[in-house]
């Protein structure tokens, strides 16, 4: 049995831009976490970016650009989640003006593409409109990952996957943040 947990928030984080940062795929924060090869094609960055941009294209939105600074910030938070065995968003003072999508699932049960597809599956409950009135359920949290991905003002993304305590964690950071009250999604 695979465990799946997802969470989304769009609050700000300082944007760190480092074009020379290492690619963040499946890093281990300490001896608590095991290093493993990514359960995905060799270029998970390309896969994660392509899936999100395919969805944005459905609405005529500009493609997101991969940002190494966002990927580093995502990796840093993913390492904390895996090391501490927790699943929660980074504090607002750490995020600044970035949005954050989180995924946690049984280690090895989900590919990076499968993780993003869990975010995209929220499309079934999405209804176009002014945020937060964008969900057929009446709860924007039911579509928060999805709306962050397709948010018209968002231009950059960086993601990281880390494994620890029997779970894989995906953290994606978006700049600027989406899910802004009173604004149209696209």
**All domains of the chain, ordered by start, with CATH?**
44-184 (3.40.33.10)
DSSP conformation letters of 1-56? ---EEEEEEE--------TTPPP-EEE--STTSPP---SS-S-HHHHHHHHHHHHH
Task: Using DSSP, state whether 29 is helix, strand or coil.
Answer: coil
Q: Are strands 156-164 and 167-175 parallel, antiparallel or unpaired?
A: antiparallel
- Residues 27 and 20: their CA atoms lie apart, in Å, by 17
Phi, psi of 169 (to 5 degrees): -120, 130
Q: What is the pLDDT of residues 42-65, one digit of tens each?
A: 478 999 999 999 999 999 999 999
Task: Assess whether pLDDT exceeds 50 at residue 139.
Answer: yes
Question: Cβ atoms within 10 A of the Cβ of 124, count?
Answer: 10
Decide: 125 and 135 in contact? Cβ < 8 Å: yes
pTM of the model: 0.80
pLDDT category of residue 185 using cuts at 50, 70 and 90: very high
């Amino acid at each position: 049995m695979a465990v799946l947990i997802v969470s989304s928030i769009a609050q700000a984080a300082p944007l760190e831009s480092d074009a020379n940062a290492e690619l963040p795929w499946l890093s281990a924060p300490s001896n608590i976490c095991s290093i493993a090869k990514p359960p995905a094609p060799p270029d998970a960055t390309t896969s994660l970016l392509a899936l999100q941009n395919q969805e944005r294209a459905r609405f005529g939105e500009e493609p997101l650009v991969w940002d190494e600074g966002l990927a580093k910030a995502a990796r840093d938070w993913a390492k904390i989640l895996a090391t501490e065995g927790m699943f929660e968003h980074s504090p607002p003072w750490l995020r600044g003006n970035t949005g954050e999508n989180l995924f946690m699932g049984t280690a090895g049960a989900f590919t990076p593409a499968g993780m993003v597809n869990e975010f995209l599956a929220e499309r079934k409950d999405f209804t176009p409109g002014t945020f937060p009135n964008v969900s057929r359920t009446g709860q924007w949290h039911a579509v928060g990952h999805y709306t962050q991905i397709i948010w018209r003002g968002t231009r950059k993304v960086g993601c990281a996957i880390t494994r620890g305590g029997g779970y894989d964690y995906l953290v994606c950071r978006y700049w600027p943040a989406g899910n802004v009250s009173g604004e149209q999604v696209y």
